[in-house]
Amino acid sequence: MRGSPRVRLVKWSLHYGVLLLFVVAALFPLYWLVKISLTPNDSLYTHSIDLWPATISLEHYATVIGNSDFLLFFRNSVIVSGVTAIASTLLAAASGYAFSRFVFRGRYWIVGVMLVTQMFPLVIVITPIFSIFGPLGLTNSLMGLIIIYTAFNIPFATFLMQSFFDGIPKELEEAAMIDGATRFKALLQIIAPLTLPGIAATMGFCFTGAWGEILFALLLNSAASTSTFPVGLLLYSTRATIEFGPMMAAGVLALLPVCIFFFLIQRYLVQGLTAGAVKG
Amino acid sequence: MASIDIKNVRKDFGPVSVLKGVDLAIASGEFAVLVGPSGCGKSTLLRLIAGLEDASSGEIHIGGRRVDDLPPRDRDIAMVFQSYALYPHMNVRDNMGYSLRLKRTPQARIAEIVGRAGAKLGLEALGERKPRELSGGQRQRVAMGRAIVRNPKAFLFDEPLSNLDARMREQMRFEIRKLHRDLGATSVYVTHDQIEAMTMADRIVAMNAGIIQQVGTPLELYDDPANVFVAGFIGSPAMNFLSGEARRGETGVALSVGGKAFCTLSQAVAVPEDGRVTIGIRPERIRIGVGAGQVVEAAADLVETTGAASVVHVDLAGQAMKIFTTERLQLTQGQRIPLAIDAKDVCLFDPAGGGRLR
Ligand SMILES: Nc1ncnc2c1ncn2[C@@H]1O[C@H](COP(=O)(O)OP(=O)(O)O)[C@@H](O)[C@H]1O
Ligand SMILES: [Mg+2]
């Protein structure tokens, strides 16, 4: 830092001012969500806009948990997102490893096709998918959602995993193979532990993607028994009213698994595990 | 311990031919050093021996067994990489014991073998450390340790010292040689550093552009290079090359540089038709002053000294030449100095193909 104390103070204030602005803008909707979920019904529809309700109550949470199918939707969402995250990460790890380490025929074309799938909006494939899935019994089924989400996650997840594998020197598995390991064993015992940050990031990406997805969830599954919670949230908005209180409470509850998930994987998201592998 | 035989091995990466027919026999227990400039195919040859790449054609035998189709794990060789390639998530002991664990060696036995290797390399205190907590020299030792616990048929080294500083490099050079003396295992050592090659090798394999140029003991390559490449690559400061003329006379072959007499070779040499030759002479074989041999006059240009010795740059009929001497000289630029050249120190090369003229 250079300049007089006053210049420094101005720079400091600007720096943190901008950061603060960003944080407030990013967190304000969350704050509003929590606030409304805690506001009792009788003070929800008043004319004044308060930053915090005079009294708080958990009545909306009680409604959501006790008086609705929310727990069912929630369970469905956990199953769909969890299986999607695990399946897409495993498959993406396999294909990412292949792209990172092997030269094979058609590699270029496969990469091209995977890129193309990322380029058009999902809306245009919904109808064909619906008509394919119907006869197969994959509509109104959690399995159908898992297949769709996994399929759509894999291209990007593959590129993500490939970049993590690219960051791991191939001498490591060569050393392991000379030490007596098969390539698969080297992958499991040497490469996989070093890719944990990548695996965690990819899983997080796939999980959140599936968790918040609504288009397919709404159009493929109409029965409540197979609905995920984003679809469930819509039930609070009926033709006559929108039940903001319970909707917001459900929204807060829906945030919890994502928070827990990221809390669990954040340890692995920290990079730098490979430092010291290579170079003196 | 085993011999390594490489027969007419070629390696192409797509259209690029990296090894162009390599024949090489390394005796059991020998320390062979593959030396050559960067990109000449040394690592590729080593990786072919290790099984990390497949040869495009040719045969590789280790200990009399053909190994071309075997995966690395079945070739029973150990390799030390330039980057060390230590497993970052394992501590020193597990790094060294990994190969034994894969062979399902009992824990107690692993501990014993790793302990012995660690003691040999001075790693006793570091067993629990992770690679990132080690200095470059320590990582180098762990990589060596990982190789020796295997007790393999052969050791392969790919520029293992190039990430160390000069002093450490000198010490590890010495330690690797001592280790080889103790273990007596067949070793193939790749380096681009001719000093490493000279000081460490039983036999040097000089490579350039995917072709083996010469194989021999360090002194054979030094004293009797097969071509301009080997002559120029081995030795520091490098051999002087002067373009000159050779004419057959009554007393032998008379050499001249820029029209001035250089020296006369008594032995018969096959001289090209037009008489144009490349004259090679090592800097330390030229003496400043009038001596027994023939005398040529040159102009001093610059003196570089290291304390122990000096390199005198001179100009001989417009061509630059270096002289290596342990005498301390005070020379001014342009000063005329007499140089004594002994005819037996002179090598002649064909300026067109670079081959030695004998
Ligand atoms: N996997 C590969 N694909 C394509 N070219 C390669 C590959 N490996 C090495 N090469 C090429 O082969 C040549 C020799 O490489 P290398 O054996 O590593 O040289 P050195 O170890 O002597 O420096 C280089 O020109 C390099 O670019
Ligand atoms: Mg190399």
- A vs B, Cβ pairs < 8 A, gives 87
**In this predicted model, what pLDDT tens digit does every residue of A205-215 receive, in sequence order?**
899 889 988 88
Percent of chain B with pLDDT over 90: 70
Round to whole Å and give the CA distance between A77 and A208.
11
Ramachandran region of residue B58, left (φ > 0), alpha (ψ -120 to 50) or beta? left
pLDDT band at A277; cut points 50, 70, 90 = very low
> Is A276 a residue whose pLDDT tops 90?
no
Protein residue whose Cα sits closest to atom 17 of ligand 1:
B41
Q: Mean pLDDT throughout A60-73? A: 84
**In this predicted model, what pLDDT tens digit does every residue of A223-272 receive, in sequence order?**
878 888 888 888 887 777 788 888 888 888 888 888 887 787 776 665 53
Q: Please indicate whether, in this complex, the C-beta atoms of A180 and B73 are within 8 angstroms of each other.
A: yes
Q: What's this model's pTM, rounded to 2 decimal places? A: 0.82
**Chain B partners of A186 at a C-beta cutoff of 8 Å?**
none
Residue B159 Cα: closest atom of ligand 1: 21
DSSP character string of A31-98:
HHHHHHHHS-GGGTT-SS--SS-SS---HHHHHHHHSSSHHHHHHHHHHHHHHHHHHHHHHHHHHHHH
What residue spans of chain B are helical by DSSP H? 42-50, 92-102, 107-121, 136-148, 166-183, 194-200, 218-223, 228-233
* Closest CB to B89 among A174, A185, A193: A193
Residues of chain B short of pLDDT 70, as ranges, are: 291-293
Which of B40, B44, B194, when mutated, tests ligand 1's pocket best, judged by the most ligand atoms within 8 Å of its CB?
B44
**Chain B partners of A180 at a C-beta cutoff of 8 Å?**
73, 99, 102-103
**Chain B partners of A280 at a C-beta cutoff of 8 Å?**
84, 135-137, 139-140, 163-164
The ipTM (two decimal places) reads 0.86
- Domain range A66-279, its CATH number among 3.40.1010.10, 1.10.3720.10, 1.10.260.40, 1.25.10.10: 1.10.3720.10
Percent of chain A with pLDDT over 90: 34
Which of B221, B174, B220, B223 has the alpha carbon at shortest distance from B200?
A: B174
CA atoms in the 13 A half-sphere facing the CB of A191: 31
**Chain B partners of A194 at a C-beta cutoff of 8 Å?**
88-89
What's the confidence (pLDDT) of residue B191? Answer: 95
| Residue A274 contacts B where some CB pair is shorter than 8 Å | yes
**Ligand 1 residue neighbourhood (C-beta within 6 Å):** B 13, 16, 18, 36, 38-44
Q: Please indicate whether, in this complex, the C-beta atoms of A171 and B83 are within 8 angstroms of each other.
A: yes
Q: Please indicate whether, in this complex, the C-beta atoms of B85 and A175 are within 8 angstroms of each other.
A: yes
SS3 of B65-131: the string is EECCCCCHHHCCEEEECCCCCCCCCCCHHHHHHHHHHHCCCCHHHHHHHHHHHHHHHCCHHHCCCCH
Q: Please indicate whether, in this complex, the C-beta atoms of B99 and A179 are within 8 angstroms of each other.
A: yes
What's the confidence (pLDDT) of residue A88? Answer: 96
Which of A77, A209, A214 has the alpha carbon at shortest distance from A155?
A: A209
- Could you tell me which chain B residue has the CA closest to the CA of A196? B89
Query: What amino acid occupies position B276?
Result: R
Q: Is the peptide bond before B237 cis (omega within 30 degrees of 0)?
A: yes
Q: Please indicate whether, in this complex, the C-beta atoms of A175 and B102 are within 8 angstroms of each other.
A: no
Three-state SS at B258:
coil
Sheet containing B203-208, strands listed edge to edge, beginning at the edge strand earlier in sequence: B77-80, B154-158, B186-191, B31-35, B203-208, B211-216
Which two tokens mark A109?
């074309």
- Could you tell me which chain B residue has the CA closest to the CA of A172? B85
What's the confidence (pLDDT) of residue A2? Answer: 60
Question: Which residues does residue B314 pair with via DSSP β-bridges, in sequence order?
Answer: B300, B321
Percent of chain A with pLDDT over 70: 93
